[in-house]
């Protein structure tokens, strides 16, 4: 019986990936690793994945470091691993990010080495393993000395170094995603991330200044596009030893366009908000932004300080404009590369957030 393990299948991207995997009979059963198999979200997901004539999905209870034990009974039949589990918090301490993202991945690699029939293991990463580099970023590139905007990026980079080293003895590929912000068409958001947090604070008038320039690319994608690309790259389009950028690439909208679209949508959806006359945030270079941050922290304004801290966990990225090359991913996906318009997606997501008072769908 061909078996697949998905780690992180209950997450924002993971749930959508499992839904798509269950619809394609590439394997005979799917086991989703979770730390909490009986949570309300988990049960809802299990029902939706198993609705209709699909590949059966079950939960495998465990944490990443214990995967070798938790997955022992599946080892002989295991053909595919999709490793998505991660601590995705930008504000996590370095040891927390490393525990899940580096040590957790090392445990999955150890487990993979014990599976005699393993044909494909796909690891989700982030385009921001490029850290504070600027300019064109190629899919084959990894090492750099530019530093990182937060511990999440640093830990994912370290994870990729581990994965590259293991490509010599395991069938491995890496899918680097950019920021998934919501669903195509509806703009529905199932999990709020840094993108939504920044816009919510802007909506509250708590972001008078943002680092970056009008033409800084903002690489965002839809959850559906990320999940569909991942599904394919992990199954029929799987090629060992490859790294892919699943992102908007050269079609990424600019910071100026995203802010314009966001302000326009907020004004149109909330006439009462329009009366507050909240101004468009000023775009500033890095030294000016750092002065602003210092003055906010010295001012004693607790609300503004908390808002500024939330933006700080990714703000430096905005001063390092980059374009992610997608040649490898486009080549592997061919006709299946259907990336929706990112600026239209931003508008849909802002509309969804305003109408749902910045709450994610259950």
Using alpha carbons, list the distances in angstroms from residue 191 to 13, 182, 183. Answer: 9, 8, 11
Number of CB atoms found within 10 A of residue 360's CB: 16
Mark 289-328 with x for binding to ligand NAP (rule: CB under 6 A) and - for no binding: ----------------------------------------
Residues whose CB falls within 8 Å of the CB of residue 73, separated by 6 or more in sequence, listed in order = none
Q: Which of 5, 6, 8, 71 binds ligand NAP (CB under 6 A)?
A: 8
Q: Which of 5, 14, 242, 348 binds ligand NAP (CB under 6 A)?
A: 14
Q: Does 21 bind ligand NAP (CB under 6 A)?
A: no
Q: Does 2 bind ligand NAP (CB under 6 A)?
A: no
The site for ligand NAP, by CB under 6 A, has a size of 27
To ligand NAP, the closest distance from the beta carbon of 9 in angstroms equals 6
Query: CB of 180 within 8 A of CB of 122?
Result: no
Integer Cα distance of 332 and 320 in angstroms: 28
Integer Cα distance of 222 and 200 in angstroms: 19
Q: Which of 36, 291, 306, 327 binds ligand NAP (CB under 6 A)?
A: 36
Q: Does 33 bind ligand NAP (CB under 6 A)?
A: yes
Q: Does 10 bind ligand NAP (CB under 6 A)?
A: yes
Integer Cα distance of 2 and 306 in angstroms: 49
Six-digit token string for 233: 């790259």
Integer Cα distance of 249 and 351 in angstroms: 24
Q: Does 100 bind ligand NAP (CB under 6 A)?
A: yes
Q: Does 87 bind ligand NAP (CB under 6 A)?
A: yes
Q: Does 71 bind ligand NAP (CB under 6 A)?
A: no
Cβ-based nearer residue to ligand NAP, 118 or 230? 230
Cβ-based nearer residue to ligand NAP, 178 or 284? 178
Query: CB of 179 within 8 A of CB of 345?
Result: no
Using alpha carbons, list the distances in angstroms from residue 318 to 77, 129, 137, 315. Answer: 45, 15, 15, 6
Q: Does 55 bind ligand NAP (CB under 6 A)?
A: no
Q: Which residues bind ligand NAP (CB under 6 A)?
A: 7-8, 10-14, 33-36, 63-64, 84-88, 100, 104, 124, 126, 177, 179-180, 191, 193
């Amino acid at each position: 019986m061909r078996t697949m393990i998905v780690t992180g299948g209950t997450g924002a991207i993971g749930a959508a990936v499992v839904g798509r995997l269950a619809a394609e009979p590439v394997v005979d059963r799917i086991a989703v690793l979770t730390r909490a198999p009986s949570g309300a979200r988990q049960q809802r997901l299990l029902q939706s994945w198993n609705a209709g004539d699909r590949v059966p999905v079950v939960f495998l209870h465990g944490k990443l470091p214990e995967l070798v034990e938790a997955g022992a009974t599946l080892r002989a039949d295991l053909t595919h691993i999709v490793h998505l589990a991660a601590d995705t918090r930008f504000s996590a301490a370095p040891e927390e990010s490393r525990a899940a993202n580096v040590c957790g991945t090392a445990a999955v690699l150890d487990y993979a080495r014990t599976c005699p029939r393993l044909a494909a293991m796909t690891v989700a990463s982030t385009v921001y393993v490029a850290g504070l580099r600027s300019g064109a970023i190629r899919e084959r590139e990894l090492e750099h000395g530019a530093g990182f905007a937060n511990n999440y990026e640093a830990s994912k980079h370290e994870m990729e170094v581990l994965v590259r080293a293991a490509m010599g003895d395991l069938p491995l590929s890496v899918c680097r995603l950019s920021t998934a912000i919501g669903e195509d068409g509806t703009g529905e958001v199932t999990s709020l991330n840094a993108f939504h947090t920044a816009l919510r604070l802007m909506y509250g008038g708590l972001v008078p200044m943002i680092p970056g320039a009008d033409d800084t690319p903002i690489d965002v994608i839809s959850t559906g596009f990320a999940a569909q690309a991942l599904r394919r790259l992990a199954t029929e389009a799987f090629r060992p030893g490859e790294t892919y950028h699943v992102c908007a690439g050269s079609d990424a909208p600019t910071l100026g366009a995203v802010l314009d679209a966001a302000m326009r949508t907020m004004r149109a959806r909330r006439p009462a908000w329009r009366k507050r006359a909240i101004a468009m945030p000023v775009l500033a270079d890095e030294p000016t932004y750092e002065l602003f941050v210092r003055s906010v922290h010295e001012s004693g304004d607790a609300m503004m300080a908390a808002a500024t801290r939330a933006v700080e966990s990714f703000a430096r990225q905005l001063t390092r404009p980059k374009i992610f090359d997608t040649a490898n991913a486009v080549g592997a996906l061919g006709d299946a590369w259907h990336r929706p318009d990112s600026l239209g997606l931003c508008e849909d997501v802002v509309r969804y957030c305003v109408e749902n008072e910045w709450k994610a769908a259950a």
